[in-house]
Amino acid sequence: MSEVAQVPQLRFPEFSGEWEEKRFDSLYPTVRNGFVGVATPYYVEEGVPYLQGKNIKSGAINRNGLVYINESFHQKSKKSQLRQNDIVMVQSGHVGECAVITEEFEDTNCHALLVSTPTHDIDSKFYINYFYSKFGRKKIYRITTGNTIKHILSSDLKIQTVSNPSYQEQQKIAAFLTAVDSKIEQLSKKKALLGEYKKGLMQQIFSQAIRFKADDGSEFPEWKERRLGDVCSKAKSGGTPRSTTKEYYDGDIPFLAISDITRQGKYLTSASKKISQLGIDNSASWIVPIDTIIYSMYASVGFVSINKIPLATSQAVINLIVKDGYSIEFIYYHLIEVKKTIHKFIETGTQGNLNAQTVKSLILNIPSLPEQAKIANFLSSIDNKIEQVGKQLDESKQFKKALLQQMFV
């Protein structure tokens, strides 16, 4: 059986020939462990950044939970000091997550990470992308040990073989994929900024710091307080058919799970489970009509959606059929804003829950129907923009994923 040629499926035209396979320590002669031990006595408010596994994710360094150590401990911990172009890799837990040390993190330090310092003609950004390709992942998998908690050892990484194209091709691939990463980062930031913009506007709208006007420029009437239960023609939770009865779960009626709400967001167009009419008949579940507000009372408390298909739900949610004279979309957005204060109503226990009576007793400030419509349309337009950017972000991530599988061997 002939060996598969070490040639990537997708390649820049100026390069040809097979890639070499080389031991990792021939490219990164210094592979060492970050500091392993108790470092907390040396933590300070401001000092030398001290990278840990939680700071390494998806090929980048994030500052979430970043801690700092004093200069004295940094100077004593020579082996774990970091230099630009080093690769840091998580060696315990989510093993294989890795990142390049950039100028920003030059002369910092790290805890329990594998640190690899390259020779002068190695582009570490190329190897970061390589380790996130299916080919690099296989290499990491081969040296991973442990059942409950995964580990990789520096001694095993040193002798692992990796693909090694010319330095010029490494640079070309790394620069191209860095540009793709920059696009992903820009879209991520844009989506996050739009989310913050919407959040700030909602706070001002529902506190009435911002008021809309009628098309003729006149003022709308004052808002009035209403109980949530009073703006609904029906407010009722669902039920769960007995799980041990197979016949209850072999039907075609969508049966909503909390995860469907958290996954799909504003509009529900599918459900992960299905039940039968027999299951409906033998439980407290019922067919919830289209354009009902679905409000989560258990686990992910306060999550809100609007169903765009008829479905059944469990007792974990309350289904709110809004009366004529009220905007479903306005009530939806108002309940999202109310979520910030819902914690004071949550019942204590193994998991925080609400009950149906508490939800129906929530007090909402309601404007006139025309102002409700203006508010709902305005916030929907922002949601549409967020969704558009989100799709672009997903497409860019898929593009990067495809490139990783085609540009490496």
| pLDDT, block means (10 residues), the chain with 409 residues | 74 96 97 96 97 97 96 97 98 97 97 96 97 97 95 97 97 98 97 97 96 96 97 97 94 94 93 96 97 93 96 96 97 94 69 87 96 98 97 98 97
pLDDT digits (tens, 9 = 90+) for 198-213: 999 999 999 999 999 9
Q: Which amino acid, residue 64?
A: N
- Per the DSSP assignment, residues forming a β-bridge with 347 are 353
- pLDDT at residue 344, as a whole number: 74
CA–CA separation, 165 and 152 (whole Å): 25
Q: Quick one: fold of 20-164?
A: Adenine-n6-DNA-methyltransferase TaqI; Chain A, domain 2 (3.90.220)
CATH code of domain 224-366: 3.90.220.20
Q: Do domains 20-164 and 224-366 have the same CATH topology?
A: yes
CA–CA separation, 269 and 287 (whole Å): 15
Q: Can you give the residue ranges of every domain in the chain?
A: 20-164, 178-212+368-409, 224-366
- pLDDT at residue 1, as a whole number: 41
CA–CA separation, 352 and 374 (whole Å): 35
Which of 160-181 are b and which e, b meaning 16 or more Cβ less than 10 Å from the residue's Cβ? bebbbbeeebbebbbeebeebb
- pLDDT at residue 90, as a whole number: 98
Q: Give the tokens for residue 358.
A: 């508490």
Q: Give the tokens for residue 170.
A: 């490494």
Contact between 116 and 30 (Cβ < 8 Å): yes
- pLDDT at residue 2, as a whole number: 42
